[in-house]
Amino acid sequence: MNPASMSPLAAVLDPVAASIVAQLKEQLQQQRQKIEAKDQAIAKKDQALFAAEAIIEQLREALRLERIRKYGKQSEKLSDLQLELLVGEPGVSSEEVAGEVERGPLPEQSADDGESKSPTAKQQSARKNHPGRNELPAHLERVEKIIASAPEQCACGKCGKEKKLIGYERTELLSMKPVEYFVTVLMREKRACTACKEQGVNTAAAPARIAPKSIFADETIIEFIIRKYADSLPLFRQQAMLRRDAGIDVALSTINDAVLGVGELLIPVVDGMARDLLTGGYVQADETYCGVQTPDKKGENHRAWFWQYSAPIKGVIFDFEMTRAREVPREFFKNYGGILHTDGYAAYEKDVGTKNVTRACCWAHARRRFIDALKVQTQGHAADSGLERTVALMDELFTIDREAREQSLTLEDRHALRQERAPALLEQLQALLLKMKASRVYLKKSIAGQAIDYTLKRWEKLTCFLKHPVIELSTNWAENSMRPIAIGRRNWLQIGSKEAGPKIAAIFSIMESCRKLGVPIRQYLADVLPGLADRSIQSLAELTPAAYAAKLAK
């Protein structure tokens, strides 16, 4: 019999052998089940690890972005290690950040031997050409101050004769006089007839003043307003300046009453500006917060809001409200059917304006999100090409409008330029964004993923500028109007009460409108405020900054 043809096991096993085989099979099955259970556990751990890594990456992005915002624009070039070192410092100046940028990235720590890699070469920043000495305006008064030569310079060192004056070496310096306080005494004539005593005494009419019962002259009240709402100087500091420079101790409430009195006078003017703005057909809207003292919140301020509505050439309107809810723009735009240009805030989305209102979104906000995504991805390696291309395409859109401004094109001509160049750019940009979203390279909750989702969701509102020539690419006009409030709240700390809010909003509306329209604010306030309380409602339309600017242009 051939041995190879024989089975290794007997054809019939005895009961003992069969029992052993069954036990071995059962043990083998148990081992397989354990292996499968371990494989499933490992798979779950891998999924959890992947999710944890995604969360860690999101947190790293957020941390890097927050550090960049803290240390300024130059810090975008710093590595994470350099930013971490800056965080450890008790106080970091802009010079220190610039020094780190110039020093270049720090060497990374090697994982195997603990030795650092050789540092890269220092970045050499080219020194910008100095623009030269500024020329001082010709309208300023020139006060000449002659500096005489020293006695040894007046005589010739060779023959001893007196040197002849042949001219002057001129240097112009911008000088100023310290603030000079003085008291104006109004002497109103009192006349009476000595023959007809029954006629009584006649007194000359009092001149129109901003605050007839105030101890402050018009120019002093105007100075208080400009210093606070244009230069962000709180009233209590102005009170201290009066005490220091002139020895005048005036109650803070006296100064505050004069300032708020101006705000109350300006409210009807601003109401007229709002009506004019809503008839224009194009409005940009934005909002920012401010602190307000309220009796129901002791020890802390209530967060109130300045809502800002504006349009080029129309000026700026501020509306003070204690809430950021949708009811505020809904009430302001209840009869408005034009174009409403905003950022992505949801309060402007539904039930704001009539059914005919057209909503537009801001390209600057969309671009800013991709810039943030690039900042957090620049960590010692090349920036993401898709993100860079997205920003580049958006920049080309803004280039179209910049060229239109440089050439002083009309809205119709700018619209023609947009129609010629923008559609192709938008087509490329949309295709790129859809491709980036479909690739799943960018996590949905990452900064890049959120930027892509934000832009695609608002695509129709972002591109409606192709149909409406008046729409700007961004709401920067509105955002720039909010800066005085953003800067000022660091100094004022809060608004005294919610009753003061509308008066302050009126002052801000006039101040910012004058700045935007190029109206001299001191001249405007000095011409408009005295006697404003006695003006008729019908005449207020002639007193708005836009109307005043039109008069100056004639």
Per-residue pLDDT, 108: 47
User: What is the C-alpha radius of gyration for the chain, rounded to an integer number of angstroms?
Assistant: 37
Maximum alpha-carbon separation in the chain: 168
Per-residue pLDDT, 338: 93
Per-residue pLDDT, 485: 86
Per-residue pLDDT, 78: 54
Q: Three-state SS for 375?
A: helix
Specify the higher pLDDT residue, 123 or 263. 263
User: Cα(179)–Cα(177) distance, rounded to whole angstroms?
Assistant: 6
Per-residue confidence band for 318, with pLDDT thresholds at 50, 70 and 90? very high
Per-residue pLDDT, 524: 96
Mean predicted confidence (pLDDT) in 111-130: 44
Report whether pLDDT(111) > 50. Answer: no
Cα 533 to the chain's mean position, in Å? 35
Q: Which residues pair with 292 in a beta bridge?
A: 302, 495
Q: Which residues pair with 310 in a beta bridge?
A: 284, 316
Give the CA-trace dihedral at 196, 200, 204, 206, to 10 degrees.
Answer: -170
Mean predicted confidence (pLDDT) in 50-73: 68
Q: Three-state SS for 258?
A: helix
Report the mean per-residue pLDDT for the chain.
82
The phi and psi torsions of 436 (rounded to 5 degrees) equal -65, -40
Per-residue confidence band for 297, with pLDDT thresholds at 50, 70 and 90? low
Percent of the chain with pLDDT over 90: 41
Per-residue pLDDT, 117: 41
Residue-wise DSSP of 138-161: TTSPP-----PPPHHHHB-TTT-P
Least confident range of 117-126, 265-274, 296-305, 334-343: 117-126
Strand-strand pairing, 201-203 and 302-311: unpaired
Q: Which residues pair with 291 in a beta bridge?
A: 303
Q: Are 210 and 221 in contact, with CB atoms under 8 Å apart?
A: yes
Per-residue confidence band for 69, with pLDDT thresholds at 50, 70 and 90? low
Per-residue pLDDT, 466: 94
Report whether pLDDT(73) > 70. Answer: no
User: Cα(376)–Cα(65) distance, rounded to whole angstroms?
Assistant: 6
User: Cα(123)–Cα(181) distance, rounded to whole angstroms?
Assistant: 54
What b/e readout covers 246-281, taking b as 16+ CB neighbours within 10 angstroms?
eeeeeeeeebbebbbbbbebbebbbebbbebbbeee
Report whether pLDDT(122) > 60. Answer: no
In 201-259, DSSP assigns E strands to: 201-203
Specify the higher pLDDT residue, 379 or 368. 368
Summarize pLDDT for 165-218 with one digit per residue, the tens.
888 998 888 898 888 888 999 999 999 888 888 888 899 999 999 999 899 999
User: Does pTM surpass 0.75?
Assistant: no
Percent of the chain with pLDDT over 70: 81
Could you tell me the strand order of the sheet in which 302-311 lies?
A: 315-321, 302-311, 282-292, 339-342, 358-361
Report whether pLDDT(13) > 60. Answer: no
From the list 261, 307, 212, the residue with the least C-alpha distance to 503 is 261
Specify the higher pLDDT residue, 427 or 61. 427
Written as one letter, the residue type at 338 is: G
Summarize pLDDT for 456-495 with one digit per residue, the tens.
999 999 999 999 999 999 988 888 888 888 888 777 767 7
Report whether pLDDT(95) > 70. Answer: no
Least confident range of 128-137, 227-236, 377-386, 503-512: 377-386
Mean predicted confidence (pLDDT) in 375-402: 79
Report whether pLDDT(382) > 80. Answer: no
From the list 513, 495, 491, the residue with the least C-alpha distance to 504 is 495
User: Cα(5)–Cα(12) distance, rounded to whole angstroms?
Assistant: 16
DSSP state of 316: E
Report whether pLDDT(255) > 90. Answer: yes
Per-residue pLDDT, 293: 79
Per-residue pLDDT, 70: 63
